Amino acid sequence: MSKKQSQFIPALRYDWLTRLYDPIIRLTTRETAFKQRLVDIAHIQTGHRILDLGCGTGTLALLIQKTHADAEVLGVDGDLKVVKIAQGNAVDSGSHLWLNAGLVFELPYPANQFDRVFSTLLFHHLTQESKQRTLQETLRVLKPGGQLCVADWGKPANRLMRMLFFLVQLLDGFTTTTDNVKGVLPELMRDAGFAEIREVDHFSTLFGTLRLHIAVKHLEVEESHSRK
């Protein structure tokens, strides 16, 4: 197994569980509520180019396309099986999604391409090194002034949420999830060069506390990169 392959973890850690991903997430995470909230706070505008980072089965990308038909929506995921499921879901819904197979820490896009990049339940699958590389890649492909919109597991709101999150850690591993439970994702965003990082909402679920964050790529970031 190559280094790149070893850094990839399927949606429910084990490949044979992929088909169960949608119903499990729907039943346990208040999926409709938190994804709709994330889309609402992104303030997507006509003509915006959107990237769903680690798009999974395409539920978020399809939601964005349904509610913002005048935006262009792309999705990327490293799991070929889940990309095929997303394509099937798009066909079933009568929609068309531009989907790419690719690793989130080596995005197959030129710089300054997207007005919004979304990520839902992705970062807890990544090691801290891969989190950092993914955030740097996200900053690269965002246009100046563009926003990163993230929903993922975060610091538990209370003791019950912490106990429930152990279930996620047992399934997905403690190495990748420890950063999330410590609440350091906003700090990693800041280290990558994002600004105006803020938590905009949180949801208590059967697996723990989901936290929603927005971060912005400032014009100064692009200018500093161009001088190098």
- pLDDT, mean of residues 82-111: 90
Place of tokens 């990748």: 176
Instruction: Report the alpha-carbon distance of residue 224 to residue 203 in Å, rounded.
Output: 36
- The span from the CA of 23 to the CA of 33, in Å, is 15
Q: Residue 221: what pLDDT?
A: 59
Q: Which of 57-61, 97-101, 112-116, 131-135 has the lowest mean pLDDT?
A: 97-101
Residue 91 has pLDDT above 80, yes or no: yes
Q: What's the CA gap between 1 and 154, in Å, rounded?
A: 31
Q: What is the pLDDT of residue 228?
A: 47
User: Is the model more confident about 213 or about 23?
Assistant: 213
Q: Output the pLDDT for position 3.
A: 45
Please report the pLDDT score of residue 184 as a whole number: 97
Residues 214, 195, 77, CA angle at the centre, nearest 5°?
50
pLDDT exceeds 70 at position 24: yes
- What's the rounded mean pLDDT across residues 98-107? 92
Residues β-bridged to residue 117? 51, 148
Residues 148-194 have pLDDT tens digits of: 999 999 999 999 999 999 999 998 899 999 999 999 999 999 999 99
Bridge partners, residue 216, by sequence: 147, 195
List the strands of the sheet with 208-216, edge to edge. 98-101, 72-77, 49-53, 114-120, 142-153, 208-216, 195-205
Which letter does DSSP use for residue 79 in this model? -
Contact present, 178 and 153 (Cβ < 8 Å): no
The CATH number given to whatever domain includes residue 156 is 3.40.50.150
Number of domains in the chain: 1
pTM given for the model: 0.87
pLDDT at 21: 60
> Which domain, by its residues, includes 172?
3-227
Q: Provide the token pair at 196.
A: 């105006």
- Higher pLDDT pick, 12 / 100: 100
CB atoms within 10 A of CB 159: 8
pLDDT value at 12 more than 60: no
Mean pLDDT of 191-220: 96
Cα dihedral 79, 201, 142, 95 sign:
positive
pLDDT score at 18: 54
Closest CA to 63 of 88, 84, 83, 37: 37
Mean pLDDT of the chain: 89
At residue 151, the pLDDT reads 98
